[in-house]
C-alpha cells in the first residue's frame, strides 16, 4: 500500500495533482475539507460534532477529524493506498495519522511537498480567484497571509517526516504534466 501525504502551500496544485496521481496509481484521494463537508451535509454524528465546533468558530478537535478519516480509510482498504490532502497539519495530527494507519495494517509512505515560488503562488491564486468565487483567492494580502501561515505550520511537519526519511520536496513549477512526472518518479521510488 502506498500512502502519501501531499503537501504544499495554497495554490501549489495539490488538488490538480492528486486527481492525476489517484488515477495513475489507483490511490484513494482523501481531502480533509471534502470529508468534513460530507459528514456535515449528511448529518452524521461526527459531522454534527464537527459543526458544533465550527459554528462557534473553534477548531475541530483532532480526534473528531481522525475518526472521520478512519471511516474513509476503512471503507476504502481495497485501493492501492491513499493520498492525504490537508491533513496532517501538526505533529500531533501526524502521530495520530501514523496510529490510524497502523491500526489498518499500513503506514505513511511519504510526505511529498510541492515547492513553488511565492510570486508564482500569488499569481496562481489571483488567477483562480477570477473563477473560483473564493474571497480568499481574490485578495493579495489574504493570500500572502495564507502562504505565511503555511510556512509557519508545516516547517514542523517537514522535520517530522525528514526524521523518518519520508520527506520529499518536489519542484511544483512548470507544466502540469512535468509536475505529475516528478511526483510519479518519487512515488515509483518508494
Which residues are known to be catalytic?
14, 89, 128, 134, 146
* Block residue for cell numbers 509512505: 109
Helix/strand/coil for 26: coil
Cβ of 46: how many Cβ atoms within 10 Å? 20
Pairing, β 167-171 against β 2-7: unpaired
Distance separating alpha carbons of residues 177 and 187, to the nearest angstrom: 15
Q: Sign of dihedral through CA atoms 169, 91, 89, 152?
A: negative
Distance separating alpha carbons of residues 86 and 107, to the nearest angstrom: 17
Amino acid at each position: 500500500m502506498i500512502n502519501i501525504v501531499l503537501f504544499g502551500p495554497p495554490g501549489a496544485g495539490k488538488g490538480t495533482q492528486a486527481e492525476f496521481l489517484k488515477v495513475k496509481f489507483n490511490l484513494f484521494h482523501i481531502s480533509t475539507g471534502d470529508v468534513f463537508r460530507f459528514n456535515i451535509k449528511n448529518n452524521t454524528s461526527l459531522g454534527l460534532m464537527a459543526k458544533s465546533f465550527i459554528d462557534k468558530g473553534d477548531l475541530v478537535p483532532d480526534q473528531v477529524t481522525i475518526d472521520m478519516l478512519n471511516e474513509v480509510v476503512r471503507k476504502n482498504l481495497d485501493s492501492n493506498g491513499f493520498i492525504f490532502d490537508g491533513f496532517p497539519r501538526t505533529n500531533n495530527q501526524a502521530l495520530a495519522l501514523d496510529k490510524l494507519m497502523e491500526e489498518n495494517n499500513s503506514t505513511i509512505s511519504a510526505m511529498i511537498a510541492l515547492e513553488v515560488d511565492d510570486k508564482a503562488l500569488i499569481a496562481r491564486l489571483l488567477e483562480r480567484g477570477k473563477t473560483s468565487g473564493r474571497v480568499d483567492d481574490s485578495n493579495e494580502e489574504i493570500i500572502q497571509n495564507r502562504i505565511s501561515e503555511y510556512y509557519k505550520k508545516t516547517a514542523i511537519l517537514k522535520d517530522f517526516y525528514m526524521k523518518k526519511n519520508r520527506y520529499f520536496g518536489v519542484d511544483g513549477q512548470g507544466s502540469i504534466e512535468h509536475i505529475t512526472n516528478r511526483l510519479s518518479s518519487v512515488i515509483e521510488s518508494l
